[in-house]
Structure 1
Amino acid sequence: MPEHSVGEHVASWYAATANPSPERPALEGEIECDVCVVGAGFTGISAALHLAERGLSVVVLEGARVGFGASGRNGGQMVHSYSRDMDVIEAKYGAETARALGDMAFEGGRIIRRRIEHYAIDCDLRDGNLFAACTSRQFEGLREHQALWERYGYRELELLEGEAVKGEVNSERYVGALVDHGGGHLHPLNLVLGQAAAFESLGGRIFEQSAVEKVIHGAPVMLRTARGRVKAERVVMAGNAYLRGVLPEIEGKSMPCGTQIITTEPLGEARAHALIPRGKAVEDCNYLLDYYRLTRDNRLLYGGGVNYGGDDPADIAALIRPKMLQTFPQLSDVKVDHAWSGTFLMTLNRLPQFGVVNGNVYYAQGYSGHGVTCTHLAGKLIAEVMHGQGERFDAFAGLPHLPFPGGRLLRVPLSALGAWYYATRDRIGL
């Protein structure tokens, strides 16, 4: 698949508006460190920065460029909790596990805000996001969602009905909405680039175009790239959907999935804010949801859909533009300037997978579309467990890593069939 190959950032609006960032060299020769992190996305850079702040010698190996994968391509929405919320976690895994994960469900966003403030990262942070209900059934689900989060101590939610929704998003599609005043949205590529620069300011080293080809387990661990080797006491595997063939123990129980995004031409301030008057990020409540927001230059950034297996559609704009026009038919005359795909990693139970292989190779992956905040939490928990504070990391590591029915051969068609079923229910209002 083309997007998994070594190279530059995909031609997205994010790449076109990225802050200046140096091209790091490829690894050559042999080096040693306390911790080697594989993958320079949110999980890897978050972990590396937390570890460097604690005084460890850390090296990051990246197969392409910092933020090349989902971390530099996503919708940019800071959505709290996980792809499966605490009620599902409690029902399947018990009250103790739900309480442990619930206590961390709103922490990722706070970590991001602290990083931005402490390191003065310019990434267009704006406050607020909104969950939009297309049906009365979905609106009742939002009412339950508010009660659930409040039960776990979160008080930043506001329920809107009818015309009050128009004050937030000027579309006829929605009957109600739930505003999360503690959420937000940002330029994700600039966020990861800013954190990478912060990591390097603390003495951390990043090598780009340095895909790991082999992991030789032991104490220390040896990681081989095409032209170099890293000897590390501990390793963090943070490749997510882009980790291929080097750690089979964690690759067989997840599935790469693609999602697509477009940005319009600049709309001008008046027209843009007529669509989303208070500038919040929006996602609907459908199973295959749409998500969108305004950019700093007054474009509409609009994404949606899931492509199981991660292959890119032939014409992304042709796929996403009709979704945008269903929400905002008033944009029928507007051109699309950018269109791109990104690949995230989905797990069967839609919960992230944390764990340790052979005692010194740590991993966190599989955020299932809720990665912006949870990746930043993961980085902190990895730093904690490496310093002997493993309770919070272990709360995630104790979740089962379930195989997809039918194995690797059938996971794509079976998942697509399930998605078709739920999308059909959305369309007929069930």
Structure 2
Amino acid sequence: MARADKDLRQTGIHGVSATKSYAGDGGYPASYYAATRNIVRTPVRLEGRVETDICVVGAGYTGLATAIHLAEKGYKVTVVEGAQVGWGASGRNGGQIVNGLNASLPTIQRRFGEDAARFIGGLVQEGGRIIRRLVSRYRIDCDLKSGNIYAAYTSAHMKELEAKQALWRRYGMDDHLLLDREGLRKLVNSEAYCGGMLDITGGHMHPLNLVLGEARAFESLGGTICEMSPVTRVDHKAARPTVHTSEGEVSARIVVLCGNAYLGDAVPELVSRVMPVSTQMITTAPLGEELADALIPSDMCVEDVRYILDYFRLSADKRMIFGGGTVYGGTDPADVVAKLQPNLEKVFPRLKGVKIDYAWSGNFALSFTRVPQMGRIGANTYFAHGYSGHGVTGSHLFGRTLAEAIDGDQSRFDMFAKLPWYPFPGGRMFRAQYSTIGSWWYSFKDAVGW
């Protein structure tokens, strides 16, 4: 049984071990992150009626970043979480601080115009700075390290990186260094790649320890977190919107919805805006310092630039954490190890047959445009979601932006809120099939080097 499940049984909170919801009993998946978390919380459920200034739904990065920024301004904030803090994507992602959105700046410029591209181009590095500020100010122990690398398989990939470097420079970001094959080998010792690009402002960390540290920081500011309390509905049309769970409700001046891929049907108005997509991860047994350092001498995180990409890094205890793959609709593959281990061995043949200690899957919320969405439903209910696989930095940026809007400065919120969004073709029933067919085309392009 996973360590998190044992922790829940030992909390002594009435009924917690029997909680049933989208998250099962609320225990963390059996990931490397859950096994090595450095904060073990005692969940407190929402019971009865609570009055607050701001109610935030979701105790992941977006919800806690919003809550911290508001609490720092003196607001009374209550966070309602359906499972445990960081149970969703925030606690099981690749741990990579990658600047930018899923949609590239040229795509944003083409779809939404130069003003939108310039606005977003000026913000895409802010999420990483917010993370570093929180880690420093609240002394969050999450193995934070600097630098991320984009790895190219083909000359076509290198041309994409060259164009990206040039474009980011146009928007004032001159932090990217192009690498030829030998330059990349000094940082990532793999024969698989022909070159790449280094972003010195990127980085990586232990994602569950980051979000647990953020929860502790929020509570140190007087905030309240109600865990194991799945939201059943949100009354957002009243002057004071109300968040309902099976055992309680929160009445607030403002509600902020940050459930992302796990909000489910609790807010019907948001269902068609995003689609859950699962991605998978494995973690090896400890490799030893000599082998680990030989494989990634830079100790930076890496992702390749294919449409369906692989991403990997070393943990603090010198394991290889390797992720990749997508399943549209959010279902889990039958065998995560069988799916990912061949990719790991392709990148690092020296790891052929290496023991895999942990394997897990998790969902992120994909938007059709690959641009995250921020907006309002009703006068006093805000939402943010749809980071499309780039949520570590985007969620922290959106959390600050939501807090600014609630505190009276809606300039940046309004810029994001006015960006158009589109439902997935095929509706809820066929959107996964449509996206899968589209991914086949891009995978073909990757395979032939276009």
Q: TM-score, normalised by structure 2?
A: 0.94
Alignment of 1:264-283 (within 5 A): 264-283=284-303
Distance in 1, matches of 2:25 and 2:308, equals: 30
Q: Which residue of 2 aligns with 1:371?
A: 391
Distance in 1, matches of 2:284 and 2:242, equals: 46
Distance in 2, matches of 1:72 and 1:131, equals: 23
Q: Secondary structure at the match of 1:255?
A: strand
Contact persistence 2:148–2:200 (CA under 8 A): yes
Q: Which residue of 2 aligns with 1:344?
A: 364
The percent identity for this pair of structures is 50
Q: Which residue of 2 aligns with 1:255?
A: 275
Alignment of 1:55-134 (within 5 A): 55-134=74-153
Alignment of 1:350-389 (within 5 A): 350-389=370-409
Cα distance, 1:2 vs structure 2: 9.0
Bigger Cα displacement from structure 2, 324-333 vs 254-263? 324-333
Distance in 1, matches of 2:444 and 2:129, equals: 36
Please list every run of 5 or more consecutive structure 1 residues that lacks an aligned counterpart in the other structure.
none
1:321 aligns with 2:337: no
Q: Secondary structure at the match of 2:231?
A: coil
Q: Which residue of 1 aligns with 2:441?
A: 421
Alignment of 1:104-253 (within 5 A): 104-217=123-236, 218-253=238-273
Q: Secondary structure at the match of 2:188?
A: coil
1:308 aligns with 2:328: yes
1:294 aligns with 2:314: yes
Question: 1:196 is aligned with what amino acid?
Answer: A
1:22-65: CA deviations, max 9, x gaps? 22211111110000000000000110111100100000000000
1:239-284: CA deviations, max 9, x gaps? 0000011211112121000000000000000000111001010000
Q: Which residue of 1 aligns with 2:7?
A: none
1:296-350: CA deviations, max 9, x gaps? 0000000001111111111111111011011111101310000000100001100
Q: After TM superposition, where is structure 1 displaced by more than 3 Å over at least 4 residues in a row?
A: 1-6
Contact persistence 1:129–1:185 (CA under 8 A): yes
RMSD between aligned residues = 1.2
Distance in 1, matches of 2:220 and 2:361, equals: 31
Question: 1:317 is aligned with what amino acid?
Answer: V
Distance in 1, matches of 2:433 and 2:353, equals: 36
Question: 1:23 is aligned with what amino acid?
Answer: T
**Cα 1:6–1:381 shift into 2, 3 Å:** farther
Q: Which residue of 1 aligns with 2:418?
A: 398
Alignment of 1:35-46 (within 5 A): 35-46=54-65
Distance in 2, matches of 1:415 and 1:22, equals: 38
1:143-162: CA deviations, max 9, x gaps? 11111111111121111102
Contact persistence 1:47–1:383 (CA under 8 A): yes
Cα distance, 1:6 vs structure 2: 4.5
1:12 to 28, 31, 53: 31
Q: Which residue of 2 aligns with 1:31?
A: 50
Contact persistence 2:234–2:241 (CA under 8 A): yes
Aligned residues: 430
Distance in 2, matches of 1:168 and 1:3, equals: 41
Bigger Cα displacement from structure 2, 150-159 vs 2-11? 2-11
Distance in 1, matches of 2:93 and 2:59, equals: 15
Distance in 2, matches of 1:236 and 1:127, equals: 31
**Cα 1:252–1:284 shift into 2, 3 Å:** same
**Cα 1:235–1:6 shift into 2, 3 Å:** farther
Distance in 1, matches of 2:21 and 2:287, equals: 32
Cα distance, 1:21 vs structure 2: 2.7
Distance in 2, matches of 1:405 and 1:189, equals: 34
Bigger Cα displacement from structure 2, 162-171 vs 184-193? 162-171
Contact persistence 2:181–2:195 (CA under 8 A): yes
Distance in 1, matches of 2:103 and 2:55, equals: 30
Question: 1:247 is aligned with what amino acid?
Answer: V
Q: Secondary structure at the match of 1:367?
A: coil
Contact persistence 1:294–1:300 (CA under 8 A): yes
Please list every run of 5 or more consecutive structure 2 residues that lacks an aligned counterpart in the other structure.
1-19
Contact persistence 1:86–1:102 (CA under 8 A): yes
Cα distance, 1:18 vs structure 2: 0.3
Q: TM-score, normalised by structure 1?
A: 0.98
Question: 1:305 is aligned with what amino acid?
Answer: G
Distance in 1, matches of 2:21 and 2:271, equals: 19
Contact persistence 1:268–1:298 (CA under 8 A): yes
Question: 2:358 is aligned with what amino acid?
Answer: H
**Cα 1:147–1:2 shift into 2, 3 Å:** farther
